[in-house]
Structure 1
Amino acid sequence: MSADNQTFPGQSTVSEESVVLGLWAALSMRDWDGIKEFVSDDCIYVDMPVGPTAAARGPDDIVKRLKIGLEPLADYVNHDGLLVANGQDVMYEHSETWTWPTGETAVLSFVTVHKVVDGKVTLWKDYWDFGGLASTAPANWMEQLAASDMSWMYDATGQI
């Protein structure tokens, strides 16, 4: 058995890569409860174009945050891409297709940075082009975002 496959006391047998892929499989299905299983109780999620002052923390608030953008869509598809892991740090280059009920469609390129500790994502940072989404979304999309429940907002300044 190579050192890469050994399990030591207190070490999880679940790979960081499988945790990240499981999280994204749940998100692709918009399985809100499933997403919660992959993030730690103190996980911080942030859309980097918006910044750390509008982060979400913990499974319930992360799901509230994700629902704002994804729940109203007629269709949402995550397209797998390159996954690179360096111990607890896992980067995932992928794309998403967003389709609104009014017919508009956006294909968004993402790089997502995760930190995985003890089989759970503890940090999730999405890097993507907010302007590209805003220019493709329905005309009232920004108004709908502004009217959303923002109880999930967490200021992660200095923590990410």
Structure 2
Amino acid sequence: MPVDQVANTGQAEETVQAMWEALSARDWTALKTFLSADCIYLDVPVGPAAAARGPEDIVKRLKIGLEPLAAYRNFPGLMVSNGADVMYEHSEQWHWATGESALLKFVTVHLVEGGEITLWKDYWDMGALADHAPPTWLADFAGADMSWVFDATGLV
């Protein structure tokens, strides 16, 4: 592997790691600094027609699921990259104020260009969330601000 690609691999992994640290802290302001202006966030189980684009809308989307939680923790796992592409296997523990909790296993794919994340795709089992979330979680999601919705069909 050329030396410049090794350096870029390290930079991409550092960018992704720092972004996940900001997300784990639910530090929405810091999180935005790692996302390019046209970054696309795709929650794969939901599909590309309900993606989010840009730091502001991505944070709106993430807040729907994570902000109401009583506690949220990301458990780091394997991170591999080939330069700009970074794959991150990890899990998240979600705790609701009503007592329910879920351990969600993820593989996340990021594309990092120029030190910023330009694409973020989360692969996970939505059934694991549905099986453990409070009975109102889907209705709460449906009633949330959906101004972030971006149709990324054909872009991801």
**TM-score interval for Structure 1 and Structure 2 normalised by the shorter chain:** over 0.9
Which of 40, 43, 52 is 1:44 aligned to?
40
For residues 27 and 11 of structure 2, the distance between their equivalents in structure 1, rounded to whole angstroms, comes to: 21
1:150 maps onto 2:125 in alignment:
no
Corresponding position: 1:3 with 2:24: no
Contact 2:5 2:83 in 1 (8 A): no
Structure 2: tracts of 5 or more residues without a match? none
**8 Å contact from structure 1 (residues 14, 119) kept in 2:** no
Rg bigger for which structure?
1
CA distance in 1, matches of 2:6, 2:69: 43
SS across alignment from 2:73: strand
2:98 maps to 102
> TM-score, with normalisation over the residues of structure 2?
0.95
The residue type paired with residue 3 of structure 1 is V
Counterpart AA for 1:36: K
CA distance in structure 1 between the aligned counterparts of 2:134 and 2:61, rounded to whole angstroms: 19
* Pairwise CA distance, 1:3: 2.4
Identity %: 61
The alignment's C-alpha RMSD in Å is 1.7
TM-score calculated relative to the size of structure 1: 0.93
Aligned to 1:128: 124
Could you tell me which amino acid in structure 1 is paired with residue 137 of structure 2?
Answer: W
Looking at structure 2, the residues matched to 80 and 63 of structure 1 have their Cα atoms a distance apart, in angstroms, of 21
SS of 1:131's partner is helix
Structure 1 residue 61 corresponds to structure 2 residue 57: yes
Partners of 1:64 and 1:76 in 2: how far apart? 17
Question: What is the match of residue 112 of structure 1?
Answer: 108
Count of equivalent residues: 155
TM-aligned CA deviation for residue 39 of structure 1? 0.4
Q: Unmatched 5+ residue regions in structure 1?
A: none
1:41–1:59 CA contact under 8 A, matched in 2? yes
Distance 1:108 1:129 in 2: 7
